[in-house]
Structure 1
Amino acid sequence: MFGNLVNFEASLFDEFRRLERDMDQLFGATPWPSGIRAVERGTYPPLNVGSTPDRVDVYLFAAGLDPKSLDISIQQNLLTVAGERKLSTEEGVNYYRKERFDGAFRRVVTLPEDVNPDQVNARYRDGVLHVTIQRRESAKPRQIEVK
């Protein structure tokens, strides 16, 4: 009596898994992001970019890195952060799911035209790389007094 119910549930879940794979192939395998704030799957490290009238702040969320191994550079208003993340794994272990990034990475961020490449600070703390780029004095808003 319950054998048909169990088979029904198994076949129903199999159909849902097949549908999910089909949807991933249809929508998830595109070379472009799926939304304005989305990034391509596998992009590492994730980052946030914000700005104030005085500076531009870039936060890269990259736990487990050696900060001395990071290569950070600015050229023609492009901030480039490159490095490698090495994770230790046990030999003989079969991983069924592995979501932590392992390997070389490179992220490039286009900066506004008014940043000063001579005034850059980078700090790595608690797994977050914080790069601050000051804006040029001539580009900062200034108050004009009416006489």
Structure 2
Amino acid sequence: MFGSLTNFESLFDELRRMEQDMDELFGRWAAPAGIRSVSRGTFPPTNVGATENTVDVYLFAPGLDPKGIDISVQQNLLLVSGERRLTINDKATYYRQERFGGEFRRVITLPEDVDANRVEAKYRDGILQISLQRTEAARPRQIQVQ
């Protein structure tokens, strides 16, 4: 009864192998596999979290020049763009290239209560941290009963 399910697994394995073969044939990077992998087009990987006072965005992007990173906030969108330059040896034969190189752009939707005038950005150890303050009206406050 369950014998046909194993055929699906081998079919997907074969499709994955064919995709990697096509990527190598046409010079594209093979797509990473696994739950912790980042697919193509999502550089840099990003975490977004929030506290009562801030929304914090972390972009994991080693090898960037901080002067070449452009950050802007438009309405409730955070736009981050830049370029990672890679040193490539023309005389070497590469069998696999997984490190992203080139221009990137990420657009991150923010909560509506972010104050676009109160934003800080720091780049350290390959991590770009952007902290956006929430508006005063959005912060919880204690009201005393008289």
Which TM-score bucket, shorter chain as reference?
Answer: 0.7 to 0.9
After the TM superposition, which residues 1-147 of structure 1 pair with which residues of structure 2 at under 5 Å, given as runs?
A: 19-23=12-16, 41-42=39-40, 43-147=42-146
Change (3 A) 1:76 1:96: same
SS in 1 for 2:80: strand
SS in 1 for 2:104: strand
Matches of 2:73 and 2:36 in 1, distance apart?
A: 24
Matches of 1:53 and 1:145 in 2, distance apart?
A: 20
What one-letter code is carried by the residue in structure 1 that aligns with 2:15? D
Change (3 A) 1:25 1:58: farther
Query: Structure 1: which 5+ runs fail to align?
Result: 1-15, 27-36
Matches of 2:86 and 2:60 in 1, distance apart?
A: 16
Matches of 1:119 and 1:135 in 2, distance apart?
A: 8
Matches of 1:17 and 1:85 in 2, distance apart?
A: 37
Matches of 1:86 and 1:17 in 2, distance apart?
A: 39
SS in 2 for 1:20: helix
Deviation at 1:128, TM superposition (A): 0.3
Larger Cα-atom Rg: 1
Matches of 2:84 and 2:106 in 1, distance apart?
A: 13
TM-score (structure 1 length as normaliser): 0.75
**CA RMSD in angstroms, aligned pairs only:** 2.5
What one-letter code is carried by the residue in structure 1 that aligns with 2:39? R
Runs of 4+ in structure 1 off by over 2 angstroms are 16-19, 23-26, 37-40
Deviation at 1:146, TM superposition (A): 2.0
Change (3 A) 1:18 1:67: same
